[in-house]
Structure 1
Amino acid sequence: MGGKMLAPRRAALVAALSAVLALGVPGSVTAAGADAGNGHPADTHASDVYVTPTGDDHAQGTARHPVRTLQRARDLARTRAARAKGDLTVHLASGTYRTDKPLVLDARDSGRNGHTIVWQGTGSTVISGGKQVQGWQPVHGRPGLYSAPAPRGLTDTRQLYVDGVRAQRARGEVPVGLTPTATGYTTTADTLAHWRHPSDAEFVYSSGEELWNVERNGLGQWTEPRCRIAAAKDTTLTMVQPCWDNSNKRVEFPDIPGRTVSMVGPGHLTNNGKASYIENAYELLDQPGEWYLDRSAHTVYYMPRKGENIRHADVEAAAAEKLVDGRGTAAAPVHDVAFRGLQFSYATWLTPSSSEGFSEIQAGYTVTGPTGWATQGLCGFVEGGTCPFASWTPMPGNVSFAYGTHIEFSDDAFTHLGAAGLELGTGTTDSQVKGSTFTDISGNGLEIGGVDGRTPASGVEVTDNHLYALPREFHGSVGILNGYTQHNTLAHNQLDHLGYSAISMGWGGWPDKVGSPATPNSSHDNAVRDNLIFDYMQMFDDGGGIYTQGLTGTSQADGEKVTGNVIHDQWGLGKSVYTDNGCTYETVEGNVLYGASYANVASSHTDYRDQLGNHDPTLIKDNWWEEGTADGDNKGLVTTGNHIMTAPSDAPAAIVGNAGIEPAYRGILSRTAGAVSAPEAPSRVGTSTAGADALYAIFNPSFVDGGSPVLGYTAHALRPDGTEAATATLSAADYKRQAYIRISGLRADAGPFTVTVTAANAHGISAPSLASAPLRPTAATVLPAAPTGPKLRTEAKAATVAWTPPTDMGDAKVIGYRLTVSDGRTIEVTGRDALVGQPSGKGMFRVIGGLTPGTSYTVTVAAVTAAGVGPAATVKATTKAG
Structure 2
Amino acid sequence: MPTPSRRTGHRRALALGGAVFLATALLGTGSAAAYQQGGSRQDVYVTPHGSDSAPGTQARPVRTVERAQELVRQRAPRLTTDLTVHLAPGVFRLTKPLTLDARDSGANGHRIIWQGSGQTVLSGGRQVTGWRPVPGRPGLYSAPAPAGLDNTRQLYVNGVREQRAQGPLPVSLKATSTGYTASADTLAHWRNPGDIEMVYTAGEALWNVERAGLGQWTEPRCPIGSVSGTTVTMAQPCWDNSTRRVVFPDIPGRTVNMVGPGDLTNGRQPSYVDNAFELLDSPGEWYLDRGAHTVYYQPRPGEDLRHADVEMPALEKLVDGQGTAAAPIHDVAFRGIQFSYATWLTPSSPEGFSEIQAGYTITGPKGYATQGLCQFVAGGTCPYADWTKEPGNVSIAHGQRLEFSGDVFTHLGAAGLELGDGAKDTTVAGDVFTDISGNGVEVGGVEQPDGGDVTSGVQVVDNHLYGLPREFHGGVPIVNGYSQHDTISHNEIDHVAYSGISVGWGGWPDKIKKPATPNISHDNVVSDNLIHDYMLSLDDGGGIYTQGITGTSLADGEKVTGNVIHDQWGLGKSVYTDNGNTYETVSGNVLYHAAYANVASTHVDYRDGLGNNDPTLIQGNYWEQGDRDGNNKGVVTTGNHLLTSPSAAPSAIVAAAGVEPGYLWVLHRPVDGRSAPEAPSRVGTFAVAGKLYATWNPTVAENGSPLTEYVLTATGGGHQVTATIPAAQFQRTGYAEVPGLTDGTAYTVTVAARSALGTGLSSLPSAAVTVGSPGTRTADAPTGAKALPTADAVSLHWTPPTATGDTPVIGYQITVSDGRTIPVTGRDALVGQPTAKGMTRVVAGLKSGTSYTFTIAAVTGVGVGAPVSVTTTTA
- SS, match of residue 212 in structure 1: coil
Alpha-carbon displacement from aligned partner over 1:168-214 (angstroms, at most 9, x marks no partner): 00001111110111111110111111111000111111114333111
Say if 2:714 is the partner of 1:717.
yes
What is the CA–CA distance in structure 2 between the aligned matches of 1:270 and 1:861, rounded to whole Å? 38
- SS, match of residue 667 in structure 1: helix
Q: Which of 246, 250, 257 pairs up with 1:255?
A: 250
2:694 aligns with 697
2:17 aligns with none
- SS, match of residue 143 in structure 1: coil
What is the CA–CA distance in structure 2 between the aligned matches of 1:616 and 1:19, rounded to whole Å? 55
What is the CA–CA distance in structure 1 between the aligned matches of 2:557 and 2:738, rounded to whole Å? 51
The Cα of 1:313 is off from its aligned counterpart by 0.3
Say if 2:373 is the partner of 1:394.
no
2:535 aligns with 537
Alpha-carbon displacement from aligned partner over 1:457-476 (angstroms, at most 9, x marks no partner): 11000110000000000011
Alpha-carbon displacement from aligned partner over 1:481-506 (angstroms, at most 9, x marks no partner): 00001000001000000000000010
> Structure 1: which amino acid aligns with 2:492?
Q
Q: Which of 813, 818, 826 pairs up with 1:818?
A: 813
2:764 aligns with 770
Change (3 A) 1:696 1:111: same
Tell whether the 8 Å contact from 1:21 to 1:64 is kept in structure 2 after alignment: no
What is the CA–CA distance in structure 1 between the aligned matches of 2:514 and 2:307, rounded to whole Å? 61
Q: Which of 676, 682, 696 pairs up with 2:674?
A: 676
Tell whether the 8 Å contact from 2:113 to 2:333 is kept in structure 1 after alignment: yes
Q: Which of 444, 448, 468 pairs up with 1:449?
A: 444
> Structure 2: which amino acid aligns with 1:442?
S
What is the CA–CA distance in structure 1 between the aligned matches of 2:205 and 2:628, rounded to whole Å? 34
2:500 aligns with 502
Q: Which moved more, 1:206-215 or 1:379-388?
A: 206-215
- SS, match of residue 269 in structure 1: coil
Q: What residue ranges of structure 2 are gaps of 5+ in the alignment?
A: 1-20
What is the CA–CA distance in structure 2 between the aligned matches of 1:591 and 1:10, rounded to whole Å? 32
Q: Which of 750, 755, 760 pairs up with 1:756?
A: 750
1:25 aligns with 38
What is the CA–CA distance in structure 1 between the aligned matches of 2:29 and 2:838, rounded to whole Å? 58
- SS, match of residue 486 in structure 1: coil
1:68 aligns with 63
Change (3 A) 1:273 1:866: closer
The Cα of 1:275 is off from its aligned counterpart by 0.7
- SS, match of residue 830 in structure 2: helix
2:18 aligns with none
Equivalence map 1:265-664=2 (5 Å): 265-454=260-449, 455-664=453-662
Change (3 A) 1:194 1:16: closer
Q: Which of 126, 143, 146 pairs up with 1:131?
A: 126
Change (3 A) 1:848 1:14: closer
Tell whether the 8 Å contact from 1:216 to 1:270 is kept in structure 2 after alignment: no
The Cα of 1:270 is off from its aligned counterpart by 3.8
> Structure 1: which amino acid aligns with 2:755?
N
1:4 aligns with none
Identity of aligned residues (%): 65
Change (3 A) 1:333 1:176: same
- SS, match of residue 92 in structure 2: strand
Change (3 A) 1:92 1:21: closer
Equivalence map 1:11-160=2 (5 Å): 14=28, 18=32, 25=38, 45-160=40-155
The Cα of 1:15 is off from its aligned counterpart by 7.9
Tell whether the 8 Å contact from 1:685 to 1:700 is kept in structure 2 after alignment: yes
The Cα of 1:297 is off from its aligned counterpart by 0.8
1:829 aligns with 824
The Cα of 1:775 is off from its aligned counterpart by 1.2
Tell whether the 8 Å contact from 2:175 to 2:265 is kept in structure 1 after alignment: no
What is the CA–CA distance in structure 1 between the aligned matches of 2:368 and 2:285, rounded to whole Å? 34
TM-score normalised to the size of structure 1?
Answer: 0.95
The Cα of 1:12 is off from its aligned counterpart by 9.9
Change (3 A) 1:115 1:196: same
The Cα of 1:228 is off from its aligned counterpart by 0.6
Alpha-carbon displacement from aligned partner over 1:695-733 (angstroms, at most 9, x marks no partner): 11000111211111110112211116xx44322211000
TM-score normalised to the size of structure 2?
Answer: 0.96
Change (3 A) 1:21 1:710: closer
> Structure 2: which amino acid aligns with 1:257?
P
Say if 2:706 is the partner of 1:706.
no
Alpha-carbon displacement from aligned partner over 1:30-57 (angstroms, at most 9, x marks no partner): xxxxxxxxxxxxxxx1111111111111
- SS, match of residue 510 in structure 2: helix
Tell whether the 8 Å contact from 1:159 to 1:166 is kept in structure 2 after alignment: yes
The Cα of 1:673 is off from its aligned counterpart by 2.1
Equivalence map 1:199-278=2 (5 Å): 199-278=194-273
Change (3 A) 1:671 1:261: same
Alpha-carbon displacement from aligned partner over 1:211-230 (angstroms, at most 9, x marks no partner): 31111211111111111111
How much is the aligned-residue C-alpha RMSD, in angstroms? 1.4
Tell whether the 8 Å contact from 1:348 to 1:417 is kept in structure 2 after alignment: yes
The Cα of 1:555 is off from its aligned counterpart by 0.4
Tell whether the 8 Å contact from 1:618 to 1:637 is kept in structure 2 after alignment: yes
1:5 aligns with none
Alpha-carbon displacement from aligned partner over 1:327-369 (angstroms, at most 9, x marks no partner): 1101000000000000000000000000100000011000000
- SS, match of residue 47 in structure 1: coil
Q: Which moved more, 1:724-733 or 1:859-868?
A: 724-733
Q: What residue ranges of structure 1 are gaps of 5+ in the alignment?
A: 1-7, 27-44
Say if 2:701 is the partner of 1:688.
no
1:34 aligns with none
Change (3 A) 1:21 1:385: closer
What is the CA–CA distance in structure 2 between the aligned matches of 1:679 and 1:162, rounded to whole Å? 14
User: How many residue pairs get matched?
Assistant: 850
2:10 aligns with none
What is the CA–CA distance in structure 1 between the aligned matches of 2:33 and 2:510, rounded to whole Å? 62
Tell whether the 8 Å contact from 1:212 to 1:836 is kept in structure 2 after alignment: no
1:791 aligns with 786
Tell whether the 8 Å contact from 1:685 to 1:699 is kept in structure 2 after alignment: yes
The Cα of 1:143 is off from its aligned counterpart by 0.4
Tell whether the 8 Å contact from 2:619 to 2:640 is kept in structure 1 after alignment: yes
Alpha-carbon displacement from aligned partner over 1:595-634 (angstroms, at most 9, x marks no partner): 0011000011111111111110000000000000000001
Tell whether the 8 Å contact from 2:744 to 2:771 is kept in structure 1 after alignment: no
> Structure 2: which amino acid aligns with 1:222?
W
What is the CA–CA distance in structure 2 between the aligned matches of 1:182 and 1:326, rounded to whole Å? 41
The Cα of 1:778 is off from its aligned counterpart by 3.5
The Cα of 1:13 is off from its aligned counterpart by 6.9
Tell whether the 8 Å contact from 2:857 to 2:866 is kept in structure 1 after alignment: yes
What is the CA–CA distance in structure 1 between the aligned matches of 2:31 and 2:161, rounded to whole Å? 31
Change (3 A) 1:13 1:783: closer
1:744 aligns with 739
What is the CA–CA distance in structure 2 between the aligned matches of 1:19 and 1:835, rounded to whole Å? 53
